[in-house]
């Protein structure tokens, strides 16, 4: 049994953009969970900062009315934990670009019970640089012996390689790299963190984790939702910028890293950076062959009508922004030589599904003479389900019961929900806790960020020259050209699980199906 996790040190969390969607939908539920399980206590305080007028009670009520107790993302049981946290939430209104705000902030921090401060930038990306500058100008990033000042920065971190380099240069001129925590919330998911454990704690997996045995890797992040009210933001961003250099590349790096010499944060971040720097950079002609972009048209999904992307509010009628992207990459290293990594992500697709599929090489020869067995056996697959229904599944072949020698596909299937209650976790609990204790393992470093942008820059350059994304219907898995991307290599995408569908091929439970006692 693992030892209990110690409580975080005393800290004041200052959230810029405290009345925004991220704070309500994800940060507040995570803080409630952390209060409930004792990761933070009475010496933890929240100071929200926003442009909206109001006081402490305004923010408390704003968050209280939004956080759902049943169903949906961010649903938590508020109860006593919320009552405890609620009392420790304060608010101040001001303009992020004005000195007066930071002068008042300095007074609030000086009067606080702890010198430990974590600033969380839950704002539009255009404010990241200016806020860091103002914090530094007013001495709010200066650390004292025994106390810390840290800054958590949400994505997107830059819009291309040049802007990411400029932002890194700007903030690192004001504070040390050790003080910046560039967040990718995918890395807070239990299954993502379990990738390293699955590999490095299981010799039978790690010994096969190379190009001798792995044929290809697929990473899918499919969403059923559309753009909603974010049309203005999304039309200047698109699926590639929104998802690939951050979320999907972080998943890729977790899969492809070499065994670190320790589980120290910098050792792991060093190995992840090596992977991202090893991504092959395509020429313009190669980018055209190895990238697909799509845009959803009008249609229906889940019994509801879906307007075409170009009919979405605040989206230009002649927009060429993509809502779907599929890309092929190689990691040019000894371990992964010749193994393609296929990435795809999109809006209003057939299912909400984030998964990593490791497809192993086919059996070279089915050595069953004078039997009815098929000569071509399906390849083994390891499927790492990130969301929803987090878990791992290994697809293998066994003998079908009976007198004839015939194979049957089955899966060794583990689902976190079968043993653990993680239904109320948002993924931000571990990220916030690590921010408070100073563990940067799950956060991106400057060189990793820039390496990711460098790898996608050929696609950004190519698509900026014109052309339109390929159309696809709502409820599909993208345009036909995405299927053709793999078909040219003699492969096909792994079929995602549709809503309300059975879990797949008959499963042999890898663990007891007994629920964790409540």
Q: Tell me: the pLDDT tens digits for 139-160?
A: 999 998 989 999 999 888 889 9
The pLDDT assigned to 2 comes to 41
Q: Does this model's pTM top 0.85?
A: yes
Angle at Cα 356 formed by Cα 216 and Cα 501, nearest 5°? 115
What positions carry a catalytic annotation?
Answer: 247
At 500, is the pLDDT very low, low, confident or very high (cuts 50, 70, 90)? low
Average pLDDT over residues 351-379: 75
Domains and CATH numbers, the chain: 11-154 (3.40.50.720), 187-362+445-509 (3.30.360.10)
The CA–CA distances, whole Å, from 439 to 23, 430, 444 equal 22, 10, 12
Q: pLDDT per residue over 177-218, tens digit each?
A: 999 999 877 676 666 667 878 888 888 888 899 999 999 999
Q: Residues of the chain with pLDDT > 70: what percent? A: 86
- Is the pLDDT assigned to residue 356 strictly greater than 90? yes
Q: Where are any strands of DSSP class E within 283-352?
A: 291-296, 299-301, 304-306, 324-330, 340-346
The CA–CA distances, whole Å, from 22 to 25, 69, 142, 154 equal 5, 17, 27, 10
Q: pLDDT per residue over 386-428, tens digit each?
A: 877 777 888 777 777 776 666 777 777 877 767 766 556 677 8
Task: In whole angstroms, give the CA distance from residue 137 to residue 102.
Answer: 9
Compute φ and ψ for 454, nearest 5 degrees. -60, -35
Q: pLDDT per residue over 228-246, tens digit each?
A: 878 888 888 899 999 999 8
Average pLDDT over residues 270-286: 95
Q: Quick one: which of 325, 298, 294 has its CA closest to 309? A: 298
Average pLDDT over residues 501-506: 48
The pLDDT assigned to 67 comes to 65
* DSSP-based three-state secondary structure for 438: coil
At 3, is the pLDDT very low, low, confident or very high (cuts 50, 70, 90)? very low
Name the average pLDDT for the chain: 86
Q: Where are any strands of DSSP class E within 51-148?
A: 89-93, 117-121
Average pLDDT over residues 168-172: 97
Average pLDDT over residues 449-470: 95
At 164, is the pLDDT very low, low, confident or very high (cuts 50, 70, 90)? very high
Q: Kindly state the helix (H) or strand (E) to which residue 46 belongs, with its residue range.
A: strand 44-50
Q: pLDDT per residue over 59-89, tens digit each?
A: 999 998 876 555 555 455 668 888 999 999 9
């Amino acid at each position: 049994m693992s030892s209990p996790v110690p409580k975080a040190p005393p800290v004041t969390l200052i959230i810029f953009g405290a009345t925004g969607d991220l704070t309500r939908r994800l940060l507040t539920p995570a803080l409630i969970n952390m209060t409930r399980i004792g990761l933070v206590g009475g010496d933890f305080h929240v100071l929200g900062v926003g442009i909206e007028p109001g006081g402490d009670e305004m923010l408390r009520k704003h968050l209280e009315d939004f956080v759902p107790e049943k169903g949906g993302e961010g649903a938590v049981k508020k109860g006593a934990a919320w009552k405890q946290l609620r009392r420790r939430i304060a608010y101040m209104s001001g303009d992020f670009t004005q000195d007066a705000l930071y002068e008042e902030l300095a007074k609030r921090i000086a009067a606080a019970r702890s010198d430990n401060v974590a600033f969380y930038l839950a704002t539009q990306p255009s404010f990241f640089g200016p806020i860091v500058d103002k914090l530094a100008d007013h001495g709010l990033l200066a650390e004292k012996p025994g106390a810390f000042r840290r800054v958590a920065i949400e994505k997107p971190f830059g819009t291309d390689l040049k802007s990411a380099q400029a932002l890194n240069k700007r903030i690192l001129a004001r504070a040390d790299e050790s003080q910046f925590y560039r967040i990718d919330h995918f890395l807070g998911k239990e299954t993502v963190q379990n990738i390293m454990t699955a590999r490095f704690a299981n010799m039978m997996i790690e010994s096969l984790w190379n190009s001798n045995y792995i044929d290809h890797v697929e990473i899918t992040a499919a969403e059923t939702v559309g753009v909603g009210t974010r049309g203005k933001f999304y039309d200047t961003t698109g699926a590639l910028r929104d998802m690939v250099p951050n979320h999907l590349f972080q998943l890729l790096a977790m899969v492809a890293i070499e065994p670190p010499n320790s589980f120290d944060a910098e050792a792991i971040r060093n190995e992840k950076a090596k992977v991202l720097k090893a991504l092959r950079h395509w020429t313009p002609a190669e980018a055209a062959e190895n990238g697909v972009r799509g845009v959803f048209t009008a249609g229906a999904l889940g019994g509801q009508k879906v307007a075409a992307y170009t009919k979405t509010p605040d989206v230009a009628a002649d927009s060429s922004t993509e809502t779907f992207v599929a890309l092929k990459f190689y990691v040019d290293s000894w371990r992964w030589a010749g193994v393609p990594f296929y990435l795809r992500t999109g809006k209003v697709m057939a299912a909400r599904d984030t998964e990593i599929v490791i497809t192993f090489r086919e059996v070279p020869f089915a050595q069953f003479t004078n039997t009815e067995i098929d000569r071509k056996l399906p390849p083994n697959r390891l499927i790492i389900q990130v969301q929803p229904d987090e878990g791992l599944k290994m697809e293998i072949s066994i003998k079908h019961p009976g007198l004839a020698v015939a194979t049957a596909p089955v899966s060794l299937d583990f689902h976190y929900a079968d043993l653990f209650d993680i239904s109320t976790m948002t993924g931000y609990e571990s990220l916030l806790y690590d921010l408070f204790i100073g563990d940067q393992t799950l956060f991106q470093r400057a060189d990793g960020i820039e390496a990711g942008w460098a790898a996608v820059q050929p696609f950004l350059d190519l698509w900026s020259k014109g052309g339109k994304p390929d159309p696809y219907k709502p409820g599909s898995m993208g345009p036909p050209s995405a299927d053709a991307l793999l078909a040219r290599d003699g492969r096909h995408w792994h079929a995602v699980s549709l809503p309300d569908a059975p879990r797949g091929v008959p499963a042999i439970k890898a663990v007891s199906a007994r629920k964790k006692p409540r």
